[in-house]
Amino acid sequence: MYAARQRVCRAACQLPRTARTYASDAHHKPAAPVNESFGTGSIAAVAAFFAAAAVFTLKPAPGEESAVSSMINKYRSRAEDWAETNALHTKAAEQAGFDRNLFENASNKHRYVNVTYPEAFQSHAPRNIQAGQLVNLDHVVEHYKKEHLKDEERKAKILAEQN
């Protein structure tokens, strides 16, 4: 192993070495004069100064409202506006209820008992229904109409007896 090491060292010594170069050894031309301007920091400082001066000259006098705050207030909702809107909606709903009660209870004799959909008596999933499976329920609707008219006549008799 010692012999192999010696051979490697001799081979390494015989290899040509490159010469080292240093940056100080290079001969460069001097840099051309550059036209330097103000940096971005100095331009930003001058712009900030003029912006601050503009803000202080445009600020509203005491007791006045600025243009920015008046624009914000124009689009902001206020509690008074909501109270007025809610009062109008309540009044309209009460009037609608009064009108509906007036028209629906004008005559109890011809009042229709609304069974919204008579199929509710046979409510089930609408799949796999064979022809003729659903029963005609007109007689059920007529029965409940008659029950309603009897009930209304009974109520009318009670009111007539009280007066």
Tens digit of each residue's pLDDT (9 = 90 or more) over 30-76: 777 878 778 889 999 999 999 999 888 878 788 888 877 888 888 88
pLDDT at 1 over 80: no
| Alpha-carbon gap, residue 47 to 62, rounded angstroms | 27
pLDDT at 12 over 90: no
- Give 144's contacts (C-beta < 8 A, 6+ positions apart): 113, 115
| Alpha-carbon gap, residue 143 to 146, rounded angstroms | 5
Q: Identify the band that residue 21 occupies on the pLDDT scale cut at 50, 70 and 90.
A: low
Note the pTM of the prediction, 2 decimals: 0.28
Predicted local distance difference test score (pLDDT) of residue 132: 67
pLDDT at 105 over 80: no
> Within 13 A of 11's CA, how many CA atoms are on the CB side?
6
Q: Identify the band that residue 87 occupies on the pLDDT scale cut at 50, 70 and 90.
A: very high
CB 135 within 8 A of CB 122: yes
Q: Within its chain, how far is the Cα of 24 from the centroid? A: 67
Q: Is 132 left (phi over 0), alpha (psi -120 to 50) or beta?
A: left
Whose tokens are 């001066």? That residue is 53
| Alpha-carbon gap, residue 26 to 24, rounded angstroms | 6
- DSSP 8-state class, residue 52: H
CA angle centred on 157, ends 139 and 98, rounded to 5°: 80
| Alpha-carbon gap, residue 83 to 18, rounded angstroms | 92
Tell me the one-letter amino acid at 110.
H
In this prediction, residues 6-21 reach a mean pLDDT of 71
Q: Identify the band that residue 92 occupies on the pLDDT scale cut at 50, 70 and 90.
A: very high
- For 107-153, the pLDDT digits (tens) are 666 656 566 666 665 666 667 666 666 677 788 888 988 999 999 99
Nearest to 143 by CA among 161, 121, 163: 121
